[in-house]
Homo-oligomer: A and B are copies of this chain.
Amino acid sequence: MSRTSPPAPEASAEALPRQQRTYSIGELAKMFEVTPRTIRFYEQEGLLAPTRQGQKRIYREKDRVRLKLTLRGKRLGFSLAEIREVVMMYDAMPDGNARQLRRLLEILAEKRANLERQLEDIRLMRMEIDDVDQRAREVLRQLDPDA
Residues of A within 8 A of B (CB): 69, 72-73, 75-77, 86, 90, 93-94, 96-98, 101-102, 104-105, 108, 111-112, 115, 117-119, 121-122, 124-126, 128-129, 132-133, 135-137, 139-140, 143-144
Contact partners of A133 in chain B: CB under 8 A: 105, 108
A83 to chain B, nearest CB (A): 10
Q: How many copies does the complex hold?
A: 2
Complex Cα spacing A97 to B126, Å? 24
Are A139's CB and B72's CB within 8 A?
A: no
A142 to chain B, nearest CB (A): 10
Are A75's CB and B117's CB within 8 A?
A: yes
Contact of A128 among B69, B118, B129, B144 (CB under 8 A): B69
Are A132's CB and B90's CB within 8 A?
A: yes
Are A112's CB and B126's CB within 8 A?
A: yes
Complex Cα spacing A52 to B45, Å? 46
Complex Cα spacing A76 to B140, Å? 29
Complex Cα spacing A9 to B146, Å? 51
Are A115's CB and B122's CB within 8 A?
A: yes
Are A76's CB and B122's CB within 8 A?
A: yes
A38 to chain B, nearest CB (A): 17
Are B115's CB and A125's CB within 8 A?
A: yes
Given contacts A69-B128, A98-B144, could you give 14 more A-B pairs where the C-beta distance is less than 8 Å?
A72-B124, A76-B77, A76-B118, A96-B136, A97-B143, A98-B143, A101-B143, A105-B133, A105-B136, A108-B132, A108-B136, A112-B129, A115-B126, A118-B118
